[in-house]
Amino acid sequence: MSKVSPLAGLGNSAGDSGVAGASGSGVADGATGVATVASTDTIITITPVAHAKLIDLRDAESERERLGLRLEILSGPGEDFRYDLVFDEFVKAAFTDEVRTINGLKIIIGAKDLDLLRGAELDHDDAKGLLIRNPNKPLRADIEGLVADDEISAQIEAIVFNDVNPALSAHGGFVTFAGHDKEGTAYFTMGGGCHGCSMSRQTMLDGVQTMLVEQVPAITRVRDITDHTTGANPYYS
């Protein structure tokens, strides 16, 4: 299995901004057999320049005839998208994997990521390398009773987009709004430089909470629900 590099994974918008793709650990399933694809619907498109780049990278591998591009979403619910691209043996794809051929290039996508990648575009930029534009939004963090589609949520999302994340981006970090409860608590996950950092909780309480409480009367506090046991500098709270 070979890591495709560099990859910039673009989050939940179609613009050229987002989160850098991370880990080099692709997931290879040991099950045998390639899924038979009866449907002709498009899952992901690849621009000509990206296709040419991927073909060049694949052809540089010794087992190029057996390799396909496996695309995986590494991030969990409530986190901005993070992706992994690896060359993997398509003949060893799991039965549940979707295997497509795009102009001679095999694409492998696991069943869990199909809906979240549907409509995405894989492109290449000389400055950024390979990048993904994904029109879909990450799944919400699974906390029972959270509201994420009302007027309060819209206010919070606007503040996160216009104020919070631009401030955190200077430190390589960002937050993702997961929802709010009826008691006035807003829930977030943290990513980038904030994920796994021991200062994340202090950053959340001192910075993000202050912004939200001042601008959204219905919110009285902020809760960080990030799994900080993972990330570049994991800690346990």
Residue 207 has a pLDDT of 83
3-state DSSP call for residue 153?
Answer: helix
Residue 75 has a pLDDT of 79
What pLDDT, in 10s, does the model give residues 82-112? Answer: 899 999 999 999 999 999 999 999 999 999 9
Higher pLDDT, 101 or 25: 101
Domains of the chain: total: 2
Q: Residue 232 — pLDDT band, cuts 50, 70, 90?
A: very low
Q: Which of 105, 133, 161 is the last residue of a domain?
A: 133
Residue 233 has a pLDDT of 37
- Written as one string, the DSSP assignment of 173-204 is EEEEEEEE-TTSEEEEEEEETTTT-TTHHHHI
Residue 113 has a pLDDT of 94
* Residues contacting residue 232 through CB under 8 Å, at least 6 positions apart: 193, 195, 196, 197
Q: Tell me the residue ranges of DSSP E strands in 4-147.
A: 7-9, 19-20, 44-46, 67-73, 83-89, 98-102, 105-109, 120-125, 129-133
> What is the DSSP code (8-state) at residue 224?
E
Residue 17 has a pLDDT of 30
Please determine, for residue 9, whether its predicted confidence score (pLDDT) is greater than 70. Answer: no
Residue 204: give its domain's CATH number.
Answer: 3.30.300.130
Higher pLDDT, 138 or 178: 178
Rounded to whole angstroms, the Cα distance separating 75 from 198 reads: 20
Residue 167 has a pLDDT of 84
In-domain check, residue 120: yes
Mean pLDDT computed over 12-23: 32
Q: Are residues 178 and 97 in the same domain?
A: no
Higher pLDDT, 129 or 196: 129
In-domain check, residue 29: yes
Domain that holds residue 195: 151-224
CB burial of 123-138 (b: ≥16 within 10 Å; e: otherwise) equals: bbeeeebbbbbbebeb
Find how far residue 236's CA is from the centre of its chain. Answer: 23
Rounded to whole angstroms, the Cα distance separating 173 from 193 reads: 4
Q: Are residues 91 and 186 in the same domain?
A: no
Q: Which of 104, 133, 162 is the last residue of a domain?
A: 133
Find how far residue 233's CA is from the centre of its chain. Answer: 19
Q: Residue 8 — pLDDT band, cuts 50, 70, 90?
A: very low
H helices present in the chain, as ranges: 48-59, 114-117, 151-159, 165-169, 200-203, 209-215
Higher pLDDT, 2 or 175: 175
pLDDT above 90 covers a percentage of the chain that reads 45
Please determine, for residue 15, whether its predicted confidence score (pLDDT) is greater than 80. Answer: no
Q: Are residues 111 and 157 in the same domain?
A: no
Residue 225 has a pLDDT of 81
Q: Residue 142 — pLDDT band, cuts 50, 70, 90?
A: low
In-domain check, residue 139: no
Q: Which of 133, 166, 187 is the last residue of a domain?
A: 133
